Structure 1
Amino acid sequence: MGAWARELGFSQIGIAGIDLSSAEAGLAAWLEHGFHGEMAYMAAHGMRRARPGELVPGTVSVITARMDYLPRDTPAGWQDIEFSRLQRPGEGIVSLYARGRDYHKVLRARLQKLAERIAAEIGPFGHRVFTDSAPVLEAELAARSGQGWRGKHTLVLHREGGSMFFLGEIYVDVALPPSAPVEAHCGSCRACIDVCPTQAIVAPGRLDARRCISYLTIEHAGPIPEALRPRMGNRIYGCDDCQLICPWNKFARPSTLGDFDARAGFAGLSLAALFAWSEEEFLRRTEGGPIRRIGHERWLRNIAVALGNALRAGDGSAAAALATRREHPSALVRAHVDWALAQGPAQTS
């Protein structure tokens, strides 16, 4: 099965059992604190997330898979290169994972092919494929099946692959021998906790999504809390800081697939140019990619915040870009544009 997985572009596969009862208390506490924010589906499914047999009746084992996503042309020193973007406030930063094709589509199709290969070998069996698409405790299943350990930022870390990978699962009705978990190797390191721009990692292994820039720019639909806007800097879709700082990501590997190569416009383009995209251009440029899911309105909301931060940092051209959207039909966009314009020296005097 490992050879088939590698042929399909996966870095590793593992097998987990379905008894996740020891994770239920932590999940319940996370939900009770409201750390899931507006992601109501997480609370709606409750403990089913930790009970694979309830989510998909008949499931007795879970095949887990990870797939590296750094673009194939990722250079040495890529972490420093990405951090340097934060020093150019007029440049828009999109998370590395979102610069190529939508990972949901890539992983789902390849997991299905893996299931078909298995069926050809052992005969038909019941299964269901998941890729960040249902109430599945992905990181927990990955850790239990030897894909790595849970880092203090809650992501899965692998000694030979860092954390720059996607996770996927196949719930199956076939009893398979589980693979062994691995030991944690974070030690006393707290780099991810310290670097977080919004202090969203409130304790080792505990993330308050309501403060996380990835959540705010992608999952959150309404106004971004004003207190957090300055901390977003020029990050307009996601945030990679906790992964960029992680020492283990010096071992992160580029993908073997071209699907995750960066598309034109999602690395190195100015905020002003991105803000000028019409809805038609936004839809065209994001077709087949993950960014499209937030829609043009949230795209403009996010960039307006970044332009406001650029204006505060002394980028005079930001005001002209913002002025073009001051009369935008969306009240959400207008409100963020007004806030952004108020960050300039002329408006604060």
Structure 2
Amino acid sequence: MVLTLVPFSDPVGEARRYAETLAEAMTPHLADRISAIQIADAPTDRTDEQELVHWIIPSSPEAPFAPHPSGSPIFAVSLLPLAYEVIDNERRQVLPDCVQWIRPQLIFCTSEDDANCLYYAIDNGAEVHIVSPWAPEPPADLSPIGPAPFVLCMITRDTPPDLAEEMVRAADELPPSVRLVAACEGGEDGEPATLARRYSAERHVEHRVEIVTPDRADEIAGLALGAEASVVGSPRVAGPWHGFLPLGCGRPLLAPALPIFRDVMLDGHCIRLVRAEERGHVGACLRALLSNPIGVAELRERSAAYARSRTASAAAQAILQAYRSTLT
């Protein structure tokens, strides 16, 4: 039986990178009825052997939802962190419409809140499993980079503007010897870097903020490795701008109060949650963290412990075990 992972298109290629990492982690553990794994933009119409189809769906897929060309059912779906909308000042998750009509046997999601949303929204008997996000560890020979000591703010294309502004504002709250490095996705002319320059000028903190636009995974990881602490703006679970990369580097992580980050905070006690809607909260959290060396050391230990226990291999084995339980 062949397992086909089908990542849907998204602006940053998160679903494809998730599928690639998952396939690599699954391969050593294939056994029983699953003999091979492949990644395809669309499932192939196989006639020589049975195929298991597993869709990887990002929070805002661009690709149209089309049925399997052979008419075969979709066996499983992985939903990357659900997007949300604010209605009457209440934040609600947005569930892709396709989950209702494709009727998979298994649905994998990344947080308790996303699972609860699925329990209430689906009525097709699908089993819902939570797969905790892994924290990618940098290469063992990677050296830290950056103007030490510094705090890293990872501003991606999907970082909300109010959070990006609060990240840059935080430079005012740092000790005089600590710089703020704003690592911006999309290059010098991209929206994240443009916003960072504007906010630093408006707050008159240009002398405290260094704006960089790394485009290689090792550059981003080197910055995360060199930072005293990191603030992330996006719950990405794959790719070079992985939201849990700082944990893999054994560094304290500050993150927005989204379900996936809240679950990891409760699980590993290795994240501090920040509220972008509260003026100055990011800066206050960084100031409190950096003024407590013992707390920083504890967070480093917890971050490293989370990274050791929550690996791509562990996630892959959990998914394969769910496959086997369903297929038997």
TM-score (norm 2): 0.28
Which structure has more strand as a fraction of its residues? 2
Which structure has more helix as a fraction of its residues? 1
